[in-house]
Amino acid sequence: MTMHASTIDSIRKSLVGLRMPRALEALDATLRRIEQGEIDGIQAFDVLLMEELTLRESRRIKAALMMARLTTIKTLAGFDFAFQPSLDRNRILALAELKFIERAEVVHLLGPPGTGKSHLATALAVEAVKAAKSVYFSTLADIIASLAKAEREGQLRERIRYLCRASLLVVDEIGYLPVVPGGGNLFFQLVNARYEKGAMILTSNRGFAEWGEVFGDPVVATALLDRLLHHAVVVQIEGSSYRLRQHADLVPEHVRSKAHINPPPPPKKRGRPPGVKSDDQDAG
């Protein structure tokens, strides 16, 4: 099949006019495939459209990740479930179907430092972005700082409204840094505004019984938990430090036992060992 130069030139001009750079770039190679009999005209049309669609989807995801403040990208494929046998892989994959976002539920990822909570939270956020869900990711300290700044500038209501726009709000590192005075109340106003309207993922190294200490106010902590546990999925990660596993042999034994740091398990030992509890703890 021979294509006239004038027709090809017209196609190029159309692709430029339609702002389809990837299709334009792939045009010559696609035409050669037609001439060699590898594909027909309909298939070539499909190839060019798919090339352009892939580029646009990649750009959309990149822009959405930036808007979500997801500067470090983690995936579920990159999470070592074998290292955390207390974690139910199928349960996490079920969360990745994102039905919890549609139900405006709160997912709590709890466990000692370094066990993969932030990795899982980020990976679920990335899945949401790919599914065209609006996402906002932040640490608790940064969120409270932004709310406090907005309050000082008389823009608190607008800031809370902005943080309520996202279909999924991820709040990382609850309990890692002390909450500034009044910060718990500001966070409560945000949680209250999103209650039963928008999904959240929270990560924390502190149990719920310690939230009064975390937020410096038992009353505020109780009010927060009243809303955050009403429609909730609680995932408790019991295990060794995921980040420090490669350096476990360098850590003194007495420190290792306190920090829940152990060497990686032998490759042959997979699955849940006897005596380790499942993380199936739903509250709602």
Residue of 192, 191, 193, 185 lying closest to 215 (CA atoms)? 185
| Most confident region among 17-21, 31-35, 100-104, 239-243 by mean pLDDT | 100-104
**Model confidence over 50-71: pLDDT tens digits?**
999 988 888 888 888 888 888 7
**Model confidence over 234-273: pLDDT tens digits?**
999 986 655 444 444 444 444 344 334 344 444 444 444 4
What proportion of the chain, given as a percentage, has pLDDT over 90? 68
Q: What does the angle CA 82 – CA 87 – CA 93 come to, to the nearest 5 degrees?
A: 90
**Model confidence over 104-121: pLDDT tens digits?**
999 999 999 989 999 999
Tell how strand 168-174 and strand 232-236 pair up: unpaired
Residue of 38, 28, 26 lying closest to 1 (CA atoms)? 38
What HEC string does the chain produce? CCCCHHHHHHHHHHHHHCCCHHHHHHHHHHHHHHHCCCCCHHHHHHHHHHHHHHHHHHHHHHHHHHHCCCCCCCCCCCCCHHHCCCCCHHHHHHHCCCHHHHCCCEEEEECCCCCCHHHHHHHHHHHHHHCCCCEEEEEHHHHHHHHHHHHHCCCHHHHHHHHCCCCEEEEEEECCCCCCCCHHHHHHHHHHHHCCCCEEEEEECCCHHHHHHHHCCHHHHHHHHHHHCCCEEEEECCCCCCCCHHHHHHCCHHHHHHHCCCCCCCCCCCCCCCCCCCCEEEEC
What's the pLDDT at 281? 39
Cα(261)–Cα(255) distance, rounded to whole angstroms?
8
All domains of the chain, ordered by start, with CATH?
Answer: 5-65 (no CATH), 81-283 (3.40.50.300)
What does the mean pLDDT of the chain come to? Answer: 85
**Model confidence over 166-221: pLDDT tens digits?**
999 999 999 999 899 999 999 999 999 999 999 999 999 999 999 999 999 999 99
Average of pLDDT values for 82-96?
Answer: 93
* More confidently predicted of 59 and 98: 98
What's the pLDDT at 167? 97
